[in-house]
Structure 1
Amino acid sequence: MITWNNLDTLASFKELEKVERVNLVEAMTGESGAERVKNYSVPMAEGLTYNYAAKQVDDKVLAALAKLADEAQLAEKFEALYNGEVINTGEKRLVLHHMTRGQLGEAVEADGVDKRAFYTEQQAKIADFANKVHAGEITNGAGEKFTTVVQIGIGGSDLGPRAMYLALENWAKKNDTFKMEAKFISNVDPDDAAAVLNSIDVAHSIFVLVSKSGTTLETLTNESFVKDALKNAGLDASKHMIAVTSETSPLAKSDDYLAAFFMDDYIGGRYSSTSAVGGAVLSLAFGPEVFAQFLDGAAAEDVLSKNKDVFKNPAMLDALIGVYERNVLGYPSTAVLPYSQALSRFPAHLQQLDMESNGKSVNRFGEPVDYSTGPVIFGEPGTNGQHSFYQLLHQGTDIVPLQFVGYKNSQMATDVVIQDSTSQQKLCANVAAQIVAFACGKSDENRNKNFEGGRPSSIIIGEQVNPGSLGALLAHFENKVMFQGFVWNVNSFDQEGVQLGKVLAKRVLAHETEGALKVFSDLLNI
């Protein structure tokens, strides 16, 4: 029987708090550090490896974390989730994003349909549509092929799909699977839509409107912006637009769209990259086969996340170490640092994934919690970050745990040898050096040049950013966030925190304001 208890009521957590702290400088120096690097790692799917040697843990801490995983019933709660229990208690919904890429357990029926069959049906419809667009069977009003796809959406309808597109764009070009350039319009700021529209040939562009409800203010505003641009160009907007929405939304059967593909309420926006939300734009951009490889990578990582042995479950172990850092060591934030330009927007996606999921101060029953929950997430790709905020990470007053991602090979296989090493080797040398520099530090009599070390990090290492490894990386972080939500006893699948601002914005636009809200509205000439 599953029980949902607050973290601070668990005996294993109290035991974890009493375990002796690890001196990371000593642990990572000399032969001790070399042995840790060899031994403190877990295989992931698609050739990835999660290495936590430079984390502030040892065998005693890890044993206590394993006990916490058992007492918190992390594996059992994941099993309940993928078998269709109502895990999203805030909205009283199932949580089924894993089912967009595979079936981990029992068949799940909701709304009178088999949900795995529903998702695969939508993927098949998207694949058929994309293939017809690429073959010139679906064209613009003049019978000409589309060359650009533009996604219109905000939040999870933008951040995840945009990050995935940018991650695979160069890989697809190198591997001859690049079909169409993709652009994204998300911000209600008119400059966002205007900039995109000014950069494309609207006559040869197909637009993907993403709105589950069909009522999202920012998205519908940008749709109107796009429709005006098409009208001004003498084009029929209904020949240039498709919708990704729910079957019950006003967009579902509208003649304003060439086609409609469906999602449902069981997949939150930040978990939707493997659904039709990511499927339409990525299949049009790279081809359905590439999207299928992406799904396969995510599915393979999901299978690893079922393992009840925490030391064979990289997402669960990553999650537990993060809880230890947040709730025992007291670190309030985490930096995500991908040493791959392809992952330039991946930290932005993880900001939403993590902070929208676990940025909660009440538990699953609406009761206040007396401990910290989700950390602040930020990051940039290396080596840019080294010349930006790494100063604070190395010598600032706060210790910030670090999550590196690095790859042995580039995507384009275009490189140059300078001073006896390639650019890719220089990139990898930097990430290796940073891990040790953060952990071990360097003593110097000049205090400005002294590095105390003891700054923990982990790294996920892969061969190359490709569709399969990207899917596995995405699923790892999705499952990490889920497991941390289980430990903290919060609902990681609603996001009421985004609602209040929307409500007040509507009042401002309706000129139903008073007090500070009215004054700010006047200052902004609304």
Structure 2
Amino acid sequence: MVTWNNLDTLASFKELSEVERVNLVEAMSGENGADRVKNYSVPMAGGFSYNYAAKQVDDKVLAALVKLAEEAQLAEKFEALYNGEVINTGEKRLVLHHMTRGQLGDAVTADGVDKRSFYVEQQERIADFANKVHSGEITNAAGEKFTTVVQIGIGGSDLGPRAMYLALENWAKKNGKFKMEAKFISNVDPDDAAAVLNSTDVAHAIFVLVSKSGTTLETLTNESFVKDALKKAGLDPSKHMIAVTSETSPLAKSDDYLAAFFMDDYIGGRFSSTSAVGGAVLSLAFGPEVFAQFLEGAAAEDQLSANKDVLKNPEMLDALIGVYERNVLGYPATAVLPYSQALSRFPAHLQQLDMESNGKSVNRFGEPVDYPTGPVIFGEPGTNGQHSFYQLLHQGTDIVPLQFVGFKNSQIGTDVVIQDSTSQQKLCANVAAQIVAFACGKSDENRNKNFEGGRPSSIIIGEQVNPQSLGALLAHFENKIMFQGFLWNVNSFDQEGVQLGKVLAKRVLAHETDGALKVFSDLLNI
């Protein structure tokens, strides 16, 4: 039987807190470091491996982490989740995003339907629609093909799909899979929508409105902005728009859309890239076959996440090390550093995925917790970050654990040799150097040039950013965050923290304000 207990009540957590700390400088220096790099690695799906040699762990710490995973019943909790138990206690809902890419366990029925069948049906409907758009069977009013797809959404309806599109855009162009350019409108700031529309041939654009409830203020505002632009261009908006929404929303059966594809309440926005939310825009941009490969990569990583052997489960191990860093070593943040320009928006997606999931101060039962939970997540692609915030990472007063992602090969497949090495070799040289520099440091009598080292990092190493590897990478982080939520005993699948501001904003717009809210409203000329 699964039991839900706070982290600080677990005997194994007390044991972990008492294990001797690892001196990372010593551990990663000389042959010791070489041995660790070879041995502290776990295979992943999609051609990846998770290497944690430069983390502050050794065999004693790992043994304690295994005990913690077993006492916290991480494997059993994941099994309960994918078999359809109500894991989202805040909203009393199932958590089913894994089922959009495969069936890990039992069949799950909700709302009177088999949920795996429901998700597959939506994927098939989207695939059929995308194929008809690409073939010219579905066209604009003039009988001309659509050339651009524009997604209108915010939060999880934007960050994940946008990051995935950007990750695969160059790969698709190189491999003959690029069907349509995709653009995204998210911010309610009118300059966002205007900038996208001003650079888009709207007569040949199809717009994807994404709103589960059909009532999201920012999204509906931007929809009106787009419809106005279409009308001014002499176009019928209903011939240029599709909806991704719930079956019960006002958008589901509206004549304002060419088609509607469905999601449900069991998939949170930040976990929705493998649902219709990502499926529509990615299938239109690259073709349904590419989206299917993306799902295959995620499903393969989910299978690894279900492994009960902690040391062979990359997501569980990554999660446990992260909790050790947060709750024993006391590190407040984590930097995500992909050494691939294709993943330029991946850290932004992970900011929402992690901080919206585990940025909680009460447990699953609404009781305050007495320990830190989710860390601050930030990042940039390398080597840009090296010339930005790495100064603080190397010599600042806070130690910030680092999560590198690196690839052996570029997406373009061609390169030039400059000063005896290619651009890709230079990129990989930088990430290898940074890992060792952070871990080992460098002594110097000039304190300004002294690097203490002892700054922990892990790296996920892959062959190339492609649909399958991207799916595996996404699933890795989704499942890592899930396991950390289990350890902290928080509900990782609701987001009440985003609601209060929305409520107050509606009061401002209705001019129902007083006190500081009224003064700020007046200052902003509302």
Q: SS in structure 2 opposite 1:140?
A: coil
Residue deviations 1:137-159 (CA, integer Å, cap 9, x gap): 00001110000000000000000
Alpha-carbon distance between aligned partners in 2 of 1:161 and 1:277, rounded to the nearest angstrom: 7
Q: SS in structure 2 opposite 1:262?
A: strand
Alpha-carbon distance between aligned partners in 1 of 2:305 and 2:513, rounded to the nearest angstrom: 49
Pairwise CA distance, 1:377:
0.1
Pairwise CA distance, 1:86:
0.1
Q: SS in structure 1 opposite 2:91?
A: coil
Alpha-carbon distance between aligned partners in 1 of 2:152 and 2:307, rounded to the nearest angstrom: 38
Residue deviations 1:218-247 (CA, integer Å, cap 9, x gap): 000000000000000000000000000000
2:521 matches 1:521? yes
Q: SS in structure 2 opposite 1:261?
A: strand
Alpha-carbon distance between aligned partners in 2 of 1:509 and 1:412, rounded to the nearest angstrom: 49
Q: SS in structure 2 opposite 1:517?
A: helix
What does residue 311 of structure 1 align with?
A: 311
What does residue 302 of structure 1 align with?
A: 302
Residue deviations 1:186-245 (CA, integer Å, cap 9, x gap): 000000000000001000000000000000000000000000000000000000000000
Alpha-carbon distance between aligned partners in 1 of 2:276 and 2:130, rounded to the nearest angstrom: 12
Pairwise CA distance, 1:347:
0.1
Q: SS in structure 2 opposite 1:459?
A: strand
Q: SS in structure 2 opposite 1:254?
A: coil
Residue deviations 1:375-416 (CA, integer Å, cap 9, x gap): 000000000000000000000000000000000000011311
Alpha-carbon distance between aligned partners in 1 of 2:253 and 2:351, rounded to the nearest angstrom: 34
Residue deviations 1:162-183 (CA, integer Å, cap 9, x gap): 0000000000000000000000
Alpha-carbon distance between aligned partners in 1 of 2:81 and 2:502, rounded to the nearest angstrom: 30
What does residue 356 of structure 1 align with?
A: 356
Pairwise CA distance, 1:374:
0.1
Q: SS in structure 1 opposite 2:315?
A: helix
Alpha-carbon distance between aligned partners in 2 of 1:368 and 1:400, rounded to the nearest angstrom: 26
Alpha-carbon distance between aligned partners in 2 of 1:385 and 1:233, rounded to the nearest angstrom: 42
Residue deviations 1:243-270 (CA, integer Å, cap 9, x gap): 0000000000000000000000000000
Pairwise CA distance, 1:424:
0.1
Q: For 1:61-210, what aligned pairs fall within 5 Å after superposition? A: 61-210=61-210
Pairwise CA distance, 1:89:
0.2
2:53 matches 1:53? yes
Q: SS in structure 2 opposite 1:178?
A: coil
2:436 matches 1:428? no
Moved >4 Å (runs of 4+): none
Alpha-carbon distance between aligned partners in 2 of 1:206 and 1:268, rounded to the nearest angstrom: 25
Alpha-carbon distance between aligned partners in 1 of 2:50 and 2:170, rounded to the nearest angstrom: 25
Q: For 1:387-406, what aligned pairs fall within 5 Å after superposition? A: 387-406=387-406
Q: SS in structure 2 opposite 1:47?
A: coil
Alpha-carbon distance between aligned partners in 2 of 1:377 and 1:177, rounded to the nearest angstrom: 33
What does residue 497 of structure 1 align with?
A: 497
Alpha-carbon distance between aligned partners in 2 of 1:436 and 1:13, rounded to the nearest angstrom: 29
Pairwise CA distance, 1:42:
0.2
User: What value does the CA root-mean-square deviation take over the aligned residues?
Assistant: 0.3
What does residue 43 of structure 1 align with?
A: 43
Alpha-carbon distance between aligned partners in 2 of 1:387 and 1:416, rounded to the nearest angstrom: 23
Residue deviations 1:311-350 (CA, integer Å, cap 9, x gap): 1100000000000000000000000000000000000000
Unaligned 5+ segments in structure 1 are none
Q: Percentage identity across aligned positions?
A: 92
Q: SS in structure 2 opposite 1:45?
A: coil
Residue deviations 1:60-101 (CA, integer Å, cap 9, x gap): 000000000000000000000000000000000000000000
TM-score for both structures, normalised by structure 1: 1.00
Alpha-carbon distance between aligned partners in 1 of 2:420 and 2:283, rounded to the nearest angstrom: 40
Alpha-carbon distance between aligned partners in 1 of 2:524 and 2:190, rounded to the nearest angstrom: 16
Q: SS in structure 1 opposite 2:46?
A: helix
Comparing 288-297 and 411-420, the one that deviates more? 411-420
Pairwise CA distance, 1:46:
1.2
TM-score for both structures, normalised by structure 2: 1.00
Alpha-carbon distance between aligned partners in 1 of 2:254 and 2:226, rounded to the nearest angstrom: 17
